[in-house]
Amino acid sequence: MNPDWHPLDAELDHWRAAGLSLPLWWRDDDAVAPTRQLDHLSDLAENLNLPVHLAVIPRDATGALAEYAEGRPSLIPVVHGWAHTNHALNGQKKAEFRLNRTLDEMVVDAQVGMARLGALFGDNVRPMFVPPWNRIAPELIEQLPNLGYRILSTATPRKTRLVASGLEQVNTHLDPIDWRGTRGLISPETLIAQTVELLRNRRQGRTDNTEPFGVLTHHLVHDQDIWVFTEVLLRKLLRGPGTAWIAPKNK
Ligand SMILES: [Zn+2]
């Protein structure tokens, strides 16, 4: 794999010339336990000096993961739903938090998710809700601030900063995995073109450049190409105009 990065380099030159900066963040989903792949993720975050927000599945998270994260400040735990269970009907897109069950049941799950991660990770857990498959019912969004959440994270550029009173939307924008096809890396040229388009839309004011630009990974399923592409991309963004964004702690 040796893709042509020139289109991205050229776009980043425009940013530097204009003196713009890009708030950049990293989310990695589905952690439950320490693994060899988590070692890789954690080492990479440290080397890049870019903390990674670890979307942890509360029901299955282990005490060993909590111990592991304690000595690694580059891992930032956030709440990935409750059990990562699909409640959608056959033929519907997968979802844990759409209205395939009662709102009350979902509220309880979002609440115990935060409580369980709080018990495991202490005040290091950030008040961010990451619904599995990036799907969530609007009715539940309204309830999240009451449960102590301050940030909702799904996918695609946000339309508004606050999706409910006291709840900021901070999404992910680039996912390098070809989920519907090979489950390997999407063609790097396609990913580079996507990144350039996302950045250009921000630079030219069509989307909100105050929203941290999110790169989404899934450490448990990465092959070598996915690791390498992610590292090169993040390095390029961080070299300028990117500045690391970390979700604030609950006050
Ligand atoms: Zn997930």
Q: Which helix (H) or strand (E) holds 217?
A: strand 213-217
Give me the residue spans of the domains in the chain: 6-239
Alpha helices in 92-247 (DSSP H): 103-121, 138-143, 188-203, 224-238
**Domain 6-239: which topology?**
TIM Barrel (3.20.20)
Q: What angle do CA 196, 201, 202 make, to 5 degrees?
A: 100
Give residue 198 CA to ligand 1 midpoint distance, Å: 23
pLDDT digits (tens, 9 = 90+) for 5-32: 999 999 999 999 999 999 999 999 999 9
Reported confidence tier of residue 240, pLDDT bands at 50, 70, 90: confident
**Is this model's pTM higher than 0.85 or not?**
yes
Give residue 204 CA to ligand 1 midpoint distance, Å: 32
Percent of the chain with pLDDT over 70: 100
- What are the residues whose beta carbon lies below 5 Å from ligand 1 (ion)? 29-30, 132
